[in-house]
Every structure is written in structure tokens, then in C-alpha cells.
Amino acid sequence: MTDGPKKIIKDITKGFAKHGYICSEQIATAVFLASQLEKPILIEGPPGVGKTELANTAALYFKKEMIRLQCYEGLDESKALYEWRYGKQLLYTQILKEQMQEVLEGAKGLKESLDRLMKFEDIFFSEDFLETRPLLEALTSKKGSVLLIDEVDKSDEEFEALLLEILSEFQISIPELGVRKADVKPLVVLTSNNSREIGDALKRRCLHLYIPFPDAKLERQIVQARVPEISKSMQIQLVNFVQGIRELDLKKLPAISETIDWAKTVILLNSDELDAKLAEDTLNVLLKHQQDIEVVKKEIPALVSQATETSDGKSIN
Amino acid sequence: MEKVLTDFVKALRNSNVRVSPAETIDAVSVVDSVGYDDKVLLKRTLSIVLSKTPEEKDKFNACFDDFFSDEIKQQISVDTNQLSDIKDVDSDLAKKLLEGSQGEIMLSIADAAEEAEIREIRYFTQRSVFTRRILEKMGVGKLEDELMQLGSSREGELPSDLEQELRNQLTNLRERVSDYVQQQFLLHGDVSGEQLREQIFKSMNMAQIDRSYLNEVHSLVRKMAKKLANLHSRRKKNFKKGKLDIRKTIRDNWVNQGILFNLSWAYKKIDRPKIYVICDVSGSVGAYARFMLMFLFSLSEVVSKLRAFVFSSNLGEVTNDFKDAKLDEAIEKALQKHGGGSTDYGQALTDFVSLCLDEIDNKTTVVILGDARNNFGPEKAHLMKSIKERSKQVFWLNPEGKYRWDTGDSVMTKYSAYCTKVFQCGNIDQLERVISTLLKTAI
């Protein structure tokens, strides 16, 4: 190892920032460890904090192909791993029948026919008829890849068991063909919204990263990176306002993606000062439940004054 | 250095973070590349490798800070050479504190701890005892006497530098010993204390669990409910229609010369039970109802169609209260609104039948929780019969011991004739078993 881990982590932070992803040190460390240990990372956290985006950025940063597998209930191996091309296989048997005549021509007795048949090359189950799906594709990718298994909590438990072999050994057993091993181990990122508890076996095989809502400083950096045209004071006010909302007891708290959407909305509306009216008009960008909107509406004056007050102080770096 | 890491893993396990050997190996290889120099970096890396849920991360952080804390304290070193009257102290400990290096003091703490049999520490509560014991073994008594003398001899004047220094050192020592004990507790103490308590709660009669433990029981119940939910949530039935599973069909029928004879279908059906719960919340069984409802609503992941009714005499539905509000509040509200009155099973059954007999079908399980003590009123068992006939099954959970059924005003047998099964359900263990059966058969 030529570079110290600290330097690599710093490089990752910088490299990710170049692609518009501002990551905390915790995230950068996780990415470093995943590439160092060649282990999958399981990312958990509330929706909209950039779990999927992390994988996208990692693919850009490591200059690898991005392969994505979206999980859902009922996802099975034929959609995730591989599938046989049945149509072609059936056609193949048709051809085979015709060929069989030639092969068996002039054979004397049952034994000789059988011997000839055995010598005949059989490609019914072979790579020719194999349709690769995301997981197999990621393993066979020659240049290496970033494999994103998105929302793994949405899949069934059986599917989780299917992942175990791939995640720990980076190989897939295809009964008809044998074991397919990865030449270049892909960087695997799994995300989960915790709609159900992920099995222990899977968790033990992964590094675990929890991405919480960002603190004000980090969120400002993210808004700055994603919506650079926003004015400095507006950006501070927006972030403070959102941070204030997160303190309230809501059904769904606004995440980073919502903050960014809101910042874009404000730009579109051409406003450069956050006031109660603007906040009230655009609240539906931030909040996705009518109940939440009603709760926050009552708090708007307090939140706005709080948000603008701290920004006037200019004490923020 | 690996010893430090394995010790830390042990400490983590003691604070209820589950770490597998494979993860320990990961941690070792991570530390090889990251090193011990940067504590913040070390903490961040280990947290990613060793703790796998947000709760575990919290515990990890606390444990890490505890475990690697002494490094900071060791840096407090005092220049003792300036004290002129250093020869005046006689006790060994005082000399050691003033002259000895930090390492030596640490060593003597470890020695004293060995003597005090720190390895025997098991419980949280023993920490102060062990701290005191170690300090005594180190000769703190003598030092304290000496300090007393110094204090009394100066007769109201300002304390000398020596005395001041000794006092500081003593406080410092106390802190270090108590830190040391805390570390040792993390290493040697075991979690059996907590497990023991859980065990007791589980087998204790629910009505007798003290209100002050309610929080702990809550988390216990939630844990058990989660376990059951995981166990039962994904039960599947093969569909007999829908999309054809071509792959499987062709594979299965290869033996039939490729003629598609046996068809397999792609979709599987996840069956979720429909459960109606009727809870007696009159004075005698209110406490049980609390746990029962707590348990059932913690299972909402599995039991998607759950309707709950409570009654003393008149029946009231509480389903929506439980769906929206927090569990404790909902329970309080239900008990306040309907609880406490005198029991009338006949009336409750009449209400239930008129309210939702039509909705009961052959997939519905009806669960009744109560002691069947009817105050000698009309029991209206024929209503039970009509419920039984329409539903898939009827369970009765009775919190009283079997020997008390049918005594006094209890009419258990009259009702149990129309129940698929009757359970005794007095503690959390029994409740878990009952609900497990319920989930198994309700699907």
C-alpha cells in the first residue's frame, strides 16, 4: 500500500465532490473499506438521503460500469441471475431431431446408436442459450463493475438467501454449467429502507453504513454542489428552515432530495429572501403528506424567523 | 495488538452488540490497514465493520468511548519535582503517586485489581464495590489518614502545595480506578443479568408486573412480536392461475418429451390472516388485555387485517385508535373509555354479532380474551355458536389458571364448547406460544 488510508479517504471525498456528491467522512471511510476489503456495503437510512446516488457516484469515481438491480416482491433468480432462452432451446431440439437422422444413419444395433449419440456434442445447456441478468452480468464483467442492489428489503427472504453466495464468494452456481466465478470482483452496494428487518446472515457479510439526515453544514455543502446558482444567504436560510422542520414530529421528514428540489423551486420563482409566504406556497415540495403540511403551516412564522435570524448573524462558516 | 481488538469485541458483545467471528476477522484486517494511531478514524472504521443496525451503532459508540478512554487520562502528568517537602510523606501510596510514573501507577492499579479478584465482577451494580476494594488494596486508607493529619496540622492556614497535589492525585486516582473497573466490567461482566430479568418477566403473571417495568416489558414484547413476525410473515401458497413459470414448466416436463403436461405458475400468494380480537377490559383482566393488545398491534406487519374490540359490558371498537396513536396512549385510552365496569359477556357478544357477524368468513379467526366471569348474567352461548359456525376458528384465551375455571361466576365450559381451542394465557411466555399457534393456523 503506497498511500495511507487517510489520504485515500480524502481522495475519495474530493473525487466524489467532483461528481456532485458531498459525502461525510463516515461515507468516504465506508467506500474506502469496501474497496479495500472487497466486501459489499449495506447502506441504510431514511429515504432521500442519497443511498442510491452513492452507488452511482462510486461507479463514476471508480470509472466502472454501473449495474443496477431493483428489488421488489416476487423478484426471483430468473430475473436477477440468469435465464435460459427457452424459445431458442426448443428450436434447437427441432434441429436436433433432423440432425439425429444423419448421426444415426447406418448404425447397427442399439448400442452403436447410443455410442454415437453420446459422442454427439450437446449444447442444450450452454452459454449459447444463457441469458444473463444483472447479478451474473456484474460477475462476468471483464472490467469490473459497481453492482447496486437497490431496496433489498423489498425482496423476499428467499432472494436474500440467493444473494449470500454472490456476496461472500463472488460466484454463482448454475446447476447445469457449474460455478461461475468473478474475474474482477465488483463493488457491491445494497440499499435498504428498513421496511423489513434484513436477515442476519446477509448483514454479517456486509459492511454496514447508516446515513442519517445531514447536519446543517453538510447539507449546505450539498445544496451548494447541486444547486450552485442559489444565493448564499438563501441557501443558508433554506437549510436552516429544513433543519428546523426535521425537529418536528412528522410522518415523513424532508430529506436531502427534498431540500434540493425546494432550492430549485425557489430559483425558478426567482426569490432571494425566504419569507412566510414563500415558505407556505412551496411547502408541498418539501412535505408529501397533507397532515404534515398542516402541522408545519402553524410553525412557519417561528421557523422562518429562526432560519433568517441565524443567517443574519453570519457566524456560520 | 490483536489482543486489544478481541478484548474490545468481547466488550461489545457484553454491551449487546452481536459480533460474529467472521466480523472480528474483518476488523483485524481493517485495523491492519488503518492502524491504531488515529482514534477517530479507528472508531469510524470499526463502526462500519462491527455494528450493523442504528441501535447497535449507538451502543458501539458508547462502548468504544468507554473502552479506549484511558489514553486520554494518562496524559495528565504533573511535574512533582518542584515539591520540596516530598520526603515528608510516609505512606507508600503517596510516594508512588508523587514520584511514580503513570505506567507504574497503572500497573499497581492492575495488581490491586487482581488481588481484589476483579475477574469475578458480573453485574453493573458491583462496580462501586470493586472500585472501593481496589483503592483499599492500594492503601488509600493510609493516604487519607495522612491527608487528615496534614489538614489538621496546618490549623486553618491555606493548604500546602504538597497537600494540594496529593488531593489532586487522589481524585485523579479514584477516577482512573473507576474507569479501570468500568473497562473490566465490560470485559468480564456478562449480560446474563439482563437475560435473567427478561426470563423473569416472561414467566411472571402479567397482572403482577409492576407498572415501573412497563417500558422494559414493552421492548421485550416488541422483540418477541418481531420474532414472530419474521417467522410468519412470508408464508406462501402456490397460485393456480396467473402467469406461467415457463422455466420451471419446461424443466419439469422435460421428462414428458417436452410436452407441457404439468404446469407451474409464477406467482405465489402471500396469505395474511384476518383476525378479530375481543378483549375483556373489566377490572379483573384489564392488565392482560393491555399486553394482548400490545402484542397484537406490534404484529401489524403480519396481521394486516386486525380488528380489535374491547368491552366491559358494551362493546366498542378500538382498531383505529391503535393504528394512529402510540401504543401506550391507545391502550390507556381504550382502558379509560371502556374499562373498569362490570362484565357482561352476553351483551358484548350480542354487540359483536350485530356489528360484524356478516364480515366473518371462513378465513377469519376470532380471538376472545377474558376470564368468562359473567356476574351470573345471561351468557348467550348460542351467539358463540353462530360465530363459530361462520368463522375459520375461535380461540379463547383465559388468563386464569385452569383450576379456577367454572368456579364462582365463571362460565368457561359453556363458551369453550364453541371454541376451536381454549388456552390458558397468564404470562408473556404463554402469550407468545398462543400467538404463534394463532399465526400458524390462522393462515
Q: Any idea which architecture A5-80+133-210 has in CATH?
A: 3-Layer(aba) Sandwich (3.40)
Report which of residues B235 and B285 the model is more confident about: B285
Phi and psi, residue B311, nearest 5°: -155, 150
Q: How far is A101 from chain B (nearest CA, A)?
A: 18
**Is B93 within 8 Å of B142 (Cβ atoms)?**
yes
Q: What does the angle CA B133 – CA B139 – CA B142 come to, to the nearest 5 degrees?
A: 125
Question: In a mutagenesis test of the B interface, which of A27, A197, A211 is the best target, namely the one with the most B β-carbons within 10 Å?
Answer: A197
Smallest CA-to-CA distance from B386 within B356, B407, B363 is with B356
Closest residue in A to B250 (Cα–Cα)? A86
Q: Which residue has the cell 463502526?
A: B47
Mean pLDDT of B186-200: 65
Report how far residue A230's alpha carbon sits from residue A222's, in angstroms, rounded to the nearest whole number: 12
Q: B48 vs A207: CB contact, 8 Å cut-off?
A: yes
Q: How far is A142 from chain B (nearest CA, A)?
A: 27
Q: Which residues of A touch B (CB under 8 A)?
A: 1, 5-6, 9, 25-26, 29-30, 33, 36-37, 39, 41-42, 44, 73-74, 78, 83-84, 86, 89-90, 93, 156-157, 196-197, 200, 203-210
Q: How far is B195 from chain A (nearest CA, A)?
A: 20
Report how far residue A283's alpha carbon sits from residue A297's, in angstroms, rounded to the nearest whole number: 8
Q: B48 vs A83: CB contact, 8 Å cut-off?
A: no
Closest residue in B to A125 (Cα–Cα)? B251
Give pLDDT tens digits for B217-274: 777 777 777 766 666 655 555 556 667 777 778 777 776 767 777 787 776 665 556 7
Residues 6+ apart with CB under 8 A from B374: B343, B344, B345, B346, B409, B410, B411
Can you give the pLDDT at residue B195? 66
Report how far residue A101's alpha carbon sits from residue B9's, in angstroms, rounded to the nearest whole number: 69
Whole-number Cα distances in Å, B351 to B269, B290, B309, B329, B331: 34, 21, 10, 25, 21
Can you give the pLDDT at residue A187? 92
**Is B399 within 8 Å of B422 (Cβ atoms)?**
no
Q: A39 vs B26: CB contact, 8 Å cut-off?
A: yes
Nearest to B44 among A26, A73, A83 (CB): A26
A71 conformational bin, left if phi > 0, alpha if psi -120 to 50, beta if neither? beta
Nearest to B250 among A86, A156, A208 (CB): A86
Nearest to B44 among A1, A29, A36 (CB): A29
Nearest to A197 among B20, B226, B267 (CB): B226
| Residues of chain B neighbouring A206 (CB-CB closer than 8 A) | 52
* H helix and E strand count, chain A: 15, 9
B333 CB neighbour count, 10 Å cutoff: 15
Nearest to B22 among A30, A196, A204 (CB): A204
| Residues of chain B neighbouring A196 (CB-CB closer than 8 A) | 230, 233, 301
Can you give the pLDDT at residue A306? 80
Q: B33 vs A1: CB contact, 8 Å cut-off?
A: yes
Q: B41 vs A37: CB contact, 8 Å cut-off?
A: no
Residues 6+ apart with CB under 8 A from B168: B78
Q: B48 vs A197: CB contact, 8 Å cut-off?
A: no
Residue type present at position B313: S
Q: How far is B217 from chain A (nearest CA, A)?
A: 21
Question: In a mutagenesis test of the A interface, which of B28, B48, B60, B233 is the best target, namely the one with the most A β-carbons within 10 Å?
Answer: B48
Residue ranges covered by each domain of chain A: 5-80+133-210, 82-128, 216-311
A97, A103, A109, A112 alpha-carbon torsion, rounded to 10°: -120
Nearest to A5 among B23, B33, B226 (CB): B33
ipTM exceeding cut-off 0.85 for this assembly: no
Question: In a mutagenesis test of the B interface, which of A2, A10, A32 is the best target, namely the one with the most B β-carbons within 10 Å?
Answer: A32
Q: A74 vs B268: CB contact, 8 Å cut-off?
A: yes
| Residues of chain B neighbouring A83 (CB-CB closer than 8 A) | 247
Residue B304 binned pLDDT confidence (cut-offs 50, 70, 90): low
Nearest to B267 among A26, A74, A207 (CB): A74
Q: How far is B309 from chain A (nearest CA, A)?
A: 26
pLDDT (tens, 9 = 90+) of chain A, 317 residues, equals: 456 788 888 999 999 998 888 888 889 999 999 988 889 999 998 888 888 899 999 999 999 999 999 998 778 778 888 888 877 888 888 888 888 788 778 778 888 888 888 877 777 788 888 888 899 889 888 888 999 999 998 888 788 888 888 888 888 888 888 888 888 889 999 999 877 778 888 888 899 999 988 888 888 888 888 888 888 888 888 888 888 888 888 888 888 888 999 888 888 888 777 888 888 888 888 888 888 888 888 888 888 888 777 655 444 43
| Residues of chain B neighbouring A39 (CB-CB closer than 8 A) | 26
Residues making up chain A, counted from first to last:
317
Whole-number Cα distances in Å, B18 to A177, B13, B52, B56: 38, 6, 9, 8
Q: Is the pLDDT of residue B161 over 60?
A: yes
Can you give the pLDDT at residue A25? 87
Question: In a mutagenesis test of the B interface, which of A7, A29, A79, A81 is the best target, namely the one with the most B β-carbons within 10 Å?
Answer: A29
| Residues of chain B neighbouring A156 (CB-CB closer than 8 A) | 234
C-alpha cell at B134: 481496589
Q: Which residue has the cell 381504550?
A: B334
Q: What does the angle CA A121 – CA A126 – CA A128 come to, to the nearest 5 degrees?
A: 105
**Is B368 within 8 Å of B278 (Cβ atoms)?**
yes
Q: Which residues of B touch A (CB under 8 A)?
A: 18, 20, 22-23, 26, 29-30, 33-35, 38, 41, 44-45, 47-49, 51-54, 57, 226, 230, 233-234, 246-247, 250, 258, 266-268, 270, 301
Q: Is the pLDDT of residue B442 over 80?
A: no
Task: For residue A126, give the DSSP letter.
Answer: S
Closest residue in B to A8 (Cα–Cα)? B34
Report how far residue B123's alpha carbon sits from residue B43's, in angstroms, rounded to the nearest whole number: 27
Residues 6+ apart with CB under 8 A from B22: A204, A205
Closest residue in A to B223 (Cα–Cα)? A197
Whole-number Cα distances in Å, B3 to B7, B8, B9, B24, B416: 6, 8, 10, 11, 62
Can you give the pLDDT at residue A304? 83
Nearest to B48 among A86, A205, A208 (CB): A208
Phi and psi, residue B25, nearest 5°: -60, -45
B340 conformational bin, left if phi > 0, alpha if psi -120 to 50, beta if neither? left
Percent of chain B with pLDDT over 70: 77
Q: Which residue has the cell 503513570?
A: B102
Q: A90 vs B52: CB contact, 8 Å cut-off?
A: no
Q: Which of B134-138, B177-181, B321-325 has the lowest mean pLDDT?
A: B321-325
Nearest to A207 among B33, B49, B267 (CB): B49
Nearest to A6 among B22, B38, B268 (CB): B38
